[in-house]
Amino acid sequence: MYTDLTGKVVIITGAATGIGKAIATRLANEGCKVVINYFKKEENPEAIVKEIEQAGGHASIIQGDVSKEEDVKAFVQFAHDTYGSLDIYVNNAGVENEVPSENLSIEDWQTVINTNLTGTFLGCREAAKYMLDHNIKGSIINISSVHEIIPWPHFVHYAASKGGVKLLMESLALEFAPDGIRVNNIAPGAIDTPINAEKFSDPEKKKGVEKLIPIGYIGEPEQVASCAAFLASEQASYVTGTTLVVDGGMTKYPGFQAGKG
Ligand code: BGC
Q: What is the pLDDT of residues 120-166, one digit of tens each?
A: 999 999 999 999 999 999 999 999 999 999 999 999 999 999 999 99
Between CA 108 and CA 116, with CA 114 as vertex, the angle to 5 degrees is 100
Distance CA 35, CA 23 (A): 11
Per-residue b or e along 63-82, where b marks 16 or more CB atoms closer than 10 Å to that residue's CB: ebbbbeeebbbbbbebbeee
Q: Does 258 fall in a domain? A: no
For residue 18, what pLDDT is reported? Answer: 98
Q: Does 8 fall in a domain? A: yes
Count of domains in the chain?
1
pLDDT, tens digit (0-9, with 9 covering 90-100), for 206-239: 999 999 999 999 999 999 999 999 999 999 999 9
Residues 201/160, Cβ–Cβ less than 8 Å: no
Which range marks the domain in which residue 10 is found?
3-249
Residues 6+ apart with CB under 8 A from 119: 13, 65, 66, 67, 72, 91, 93
The C-alpha torsion from 164 through 168 and 171 to 175, rounded to 10°, is 170
Q: Does 254 fall in a domain? A: no
Cβ(96) – ligand 1 distance below 6 Å: yes
Q: Whose CA is nearest to atom 4 of ligand 1?
A: 190
Q: Does 217 fall in a domain? A: yes
**79-104 average pLDDT score:** 98
Distance CA 241, CA 134 (A): 22
What is the domain-level CATH number for residue 26?
3.40.50.720
Distance CA 168, CA 165 (A): 5
pLDDT, tens digit (0-9, with 9 covering 90-100), for 58-85: 999 999 999 999 999 999 999 999 999 9
38 is catalytic: no
Indicate the pTM of the whole model: 0.98
Mutate to test the pocket of ligand 1, among 92, 193, 196, 243 (most ligand atoms within 8 A of CB): 196
